[in-house]
Homo-oligomer: A and B are copies of this chain.
Amino acid sequence: MAITFYDLSGMNARRFSPFGWRVRMALAHKELDANVELIGFSDKAKLEFSGQNLVPVLVDGATVVADSWEIAGHLQATYPDRPSLFHGAAGEASARFVAAYADSQLHPLVARCVVRDILEVIPEKEHAYFRAAREKRFGMTLEAIVANREETRRQLKTALYPVRTTLRDHAFLGGAGPNFSDYAVFGAFMWARSVSAFTLLDADDPVHAWRERMLDLFDAMPRAEAGFPV
């Protein structure tokens, strides 16, 4: 059955949604092909069929699933014989934990580093919408949000402590191999890499080495993606 994956995109197929990246990595992990439909901020009417207006959306045969966590659960339930995204029920709880950690602790900090740069990769006609939505959320201009990003970068380093500690003894957050916990954190870095040349990680940070391993997964699919070398 054909799968269609609706993912956020800027100009020149810059796919910068961290949640889209979670789905993209999950599909690759499950060895599933998908037709990709690229959706810009101004194309959201194309998602009307899903009953909401946020990417990522997956259409798998007759099933429509929105939200990256729901999509991961759908893929795991529908394709149980393919490589597991979670390593069992306990692993599903753990992946949920790590995804919620990324949402609440990493994404706000990454946003405060790169959100202004997103203007450079989306079409002019979307600038007013994007600026208004983000400036409302943060209560300040895009320029003010990122003004102190060297300090934000230090906060990000502190916030990554649980990731760094786990990587002392394990190649991936999923242990010997990657699982959805890795994809949840990696999405934040692919978001940044797609839109900004700003350096998030020190070269000697173990999280940097892990990101290199992640970029090499699936025949280096993430590394081949349009973005800024990091």
Contact = CB atoms under 8 A, between A and B. Distances in A.
A175 interface: yes
A75 to B, nearest CB: 16
Interface string A76-118: 0000000000011111111011111101110000000000000
Contacts of A158: 104
Given A161-B104, A162-B104, A181 B97 contact: yes
The DSSP consensus for interface residues of chain A is: helix
Interface residues of A, number: 33
Given A101-B101, A161-B100, A181 B94 contact: yes
Nearest to A179: B90
B96 A165 contact: yes
A224 interface: no
8 contacts: A87-B91, A88-B91, A90-B175, A90-B176, A92-B169, A93-B172, A96-B170, A100-B162
What 10 A-B pairs have minimum CB-CB distances, sorted nearest first? A94-B94, A100-B165, A100-B162, A90-B175, A87-B90, A89-B175, A93-B170, A101-B162, A104-B161, A93-B175
